């Protein structure tokens, strides 16, 4: 879609404008363009208020979010440094009967792992991922290795590398 193309090309605000144009043209909102707008806007941390505006618009218009929408929202929250919100959205997703994906967890791990003060929370999320039925991937391990480096846990980084290679 045009909205997705805006996000891919870095024209984040234009994604929102296309969504607004759809509405003005009488085209009913659906989860696909809303998710694409959230993903596009979420790439710029300073656009977090607009991400929430689209999320609220979705809910107010009766658009039911799916896993892709939640993953876009979780990633956007993480990019904006909204760790607690990202975790809350993961919980909300689960309470609605949706199963988080590897992307869901990786997005939160990435956000937490960028902060040297969030090591405990990062480990709690890693444990949650391990307890879930979601498979880890190379991104999961790379994210944890990076988090170890940021927070000075170099031995643990080597252990994650060994585990990934096993």
Domain ranges in the chain are 1-98, 101-166
Give me the mean pLDDT over the 5-34 stretch.
Answer: 88
Q: The dihedral of CA 11, 13, 18, 19: what is its sign?
A: positive
Question: What pLDDT shows up at residue 18?
Answer: 86
Say whether pLDDT at 133 is over 90: no
CB contact at 8 A, 161 and 143:
no
pTM for the model stands at 0.91
Furthest CA-CA distance within the chain: 57
Give me the mean pLDDT over the 79-103 stretch.
Answer: 95
Residue 81: pLDDT band by 50, 70, 90 thresholds? very high
Question: What pLDDT shows up at residue 17?
Answer: 86
CB contact at 8 A, 62 and 28:
no
pLDDT digits (tens, 9 = 90+) for 7-16: 888 878 888 8
pLDDT above 70 coverage of the chain, percent: 99
CB contact at 8 A, 40 and 76:
no
Say whether pLDDT at 6 is over 90: no
């Amino acid at each position: 879609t045009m909205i997705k193309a805006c996000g891919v090309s870095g024209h984040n605000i234009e994604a929102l404008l296309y969504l607004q144009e759809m509405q003005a043209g009488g085209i009913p909102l659906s989860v696909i363009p809303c998710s694409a707008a959230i993903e596009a806007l979420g790439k710029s941390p300073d656009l977090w208020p607009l991400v929430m505006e689209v999320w609220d618009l979705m809910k107010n218009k009766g658009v039911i979010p799916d896993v892709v929408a939640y993953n876009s929202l979780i990633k956007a929250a993480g990019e904006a440094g909204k760790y607690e919100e990202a975790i809350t959205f993961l919980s909300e997703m689960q309470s609605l009967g949706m199963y988080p994906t590897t992307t869901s967890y990786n997005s939160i791990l990435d956000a937490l792992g960028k902060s040297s003060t969030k090591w405990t929370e990062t480990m709690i999320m890693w444990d949650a991922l391990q307890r879930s039925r979601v498979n880890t991937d190379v991104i999961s391990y790379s994210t944890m290795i990076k988090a170890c480096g940021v927070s000075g846990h170099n031995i643990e980084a080597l252990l994650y590398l060994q585990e990934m290679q096993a």
